[in-house]
Amino acid sequence: MSAIIQGTGAATALTTLNSKKLVARSRTSLPGVDAGRRKRCIVAAGSDASKSFGSSSLLTLRHSHKLFANAVATKADTSATTTGHELLLFEALQEGLEEEMDRDPHVCVMGEDVGHYGGSYKVTKGLADKFGDLRVLDTPICENAFTGMGIGAAMTGLRPVIEGMNMGFLLLAFNQISNNCGMLHYTSGGQFTIPVVIRGPGGVGRQLGAEHSQRLESYFQSIPGIQMVACSTPYNAKGLMKAAIRSENPVILFEHVLLYNLKEKIPDEEYICNLEEAEMVRPGEHITILTYSRMRYHVMQAAKTLVNKGYDPEVIDIRSLKPFDLYTIGNSVKKTHRVLIVEECMRTGGIGASLTAAINENFHDYLDAPVMCLSSQDVPTPYAGTLEEWTVVQPAQIVTAVEQLCQ
């Protein structure tokens, strides 16, 4: 109960903040709903620090043992609508996909085991039964083939959602993604569009081995013509899925192996998220922490500790990996003057590296300290649990980094 009261209290203060600074451009989201979502976002974020949902934690992770039980920005629905339904992230993806397939008969799904098996992570569960096995197509094992197939189908008017069983496997499809998906709209002089969505789980999981723990966003980020987004909550997973399907551009939707079982209550009414927008997770004054996907949770865990130590970090989930939402990021930098990037990509050539460059280039004058970027080690992800744990950024490191930056 106390949480809700606190939430409302925070809301008044924060709404002022909201109206002044965070009027982002929404190109594709439904206007009314998007504004509502942002407000809700902020309300929830501001009140997370002391919220404790105890055993009924809204965050349940597979194999979770010591990480963040409650630190996430939960979207406690404190507005008048107490409806909404609770679901897991993979179910949110499925819901978004199903809604779009209902809405537009051109939307189809292709990939390995997506049909009657329901997908390796159950994102396409039940869809083959409902839409038939032509529209939810099980393909032979050849990533380059089904990606190429999706591109050909898209050029003929369909809107395929291509699932890579693991993002790492999409390296086999790099030729089709780079040379065709990203390029054909341009090289055909705009005659052909390729409205595909390429999605799948990536990132470092729990002892899945090096080949199954890759961060493809690093490799794909240079490809002109594609957009990249990373989902991190059931809310934005569904919203981004829908937006990606509706987009006329090829969009790569990065999901994370460890986030599929996150639980959250999402609105009953229809909504989509803006593909190019970053998400304000927790407004603050002292430092801007930019992150995405699973690292968001490590950051929020660290944020708990930091708040207890008296810091006020602003946490932004950048969500849009290509292009970066420099508007939201810029506003934050101008306010806090300190930036910490926390990513799961490797130190060399990751999203963090590009983001550091972009911030330095655009907001150099507003920085009181050099941009710091915490990334994974430049090593293939080892299998041993203890080793694996220390290839990625841990909350303790984030706390230390913030303390260092805020001296």
286 as an active site residue: the answer is: no
x-marked contacts with another protein along 303-332 as a string, rule CB under 8 A: --------------------xx-xx-----
- Buried/exposed code over 188-198 (b: 16+ C-beta within 10 A; e: otherwise): eeeeebbbbbb
Least Cα distance to 275 among 305, 299, 241, 232 occurs for 241
Q: Exactly one of 95, 143, 217, 344 is catalytic; which is it?
A: 143
Q: Which stretch binds another protein (CB under 8 A): 56-64, 77-85, 223-231, 382-390?
A: 223-231
Contact region with another protein (CB under 8 A), list: 157-165, 292-300, 340-348, 369-377: 157-165
The residues in 9-38 that bind another protein, with binding defined as CB under 8 A, are 27
**Strand blocks (E) in 331-383:** 339-346, 372-376
Q: Please state, in angstroms and rounded to a whole number, the distance separating the CA atoms of residues 178 and 378.
A: 24
Size of the site for another protein (CB under 8 A): 50
Calpha distance 294→300 (Å, rounded): 10
Binder among 8, 60, 83, 175 for another protein (CB under 8 A): 175
Of 85, 73, 86, the C-alpha closest to 47 is 73
Smaller CB separation from another protein, 113 or 389: 113
Contacts 24+ apart (CB under 8 A), 404-407: 404/372, 405/287, 405/338, 405/340, 405/369, 405/372, 406/286, 406/287, 406/311, 406/338
Please pick, from the candidates 31, 54, 224, 310, the single residue that binds another protein as defined by CB under 8 A.
224
CB 236 within 8 A of CB 75: no
Asked if 179 interacts with another protein (CB under 8 A), we say yes
What is the Cα–Cα distance from 75 to 280, expressed in whole angstroms? 12
Per CB under 8 A, which region of 38-46, 153-161, 233-241, 309-317 contacts another protein?
A: 153-161
63 is a catalytic site residue: no
Active-site residues, by number, are 143, 212
Q: Which residues bind another protein (CB under 8 A)?
A: 27, 108, 134-135, 137, 139-140, 142, 144-158, 160, 175-176, 179-180, 183-193, 224-225, 227, 247-249, 276, 323-324, 326-327
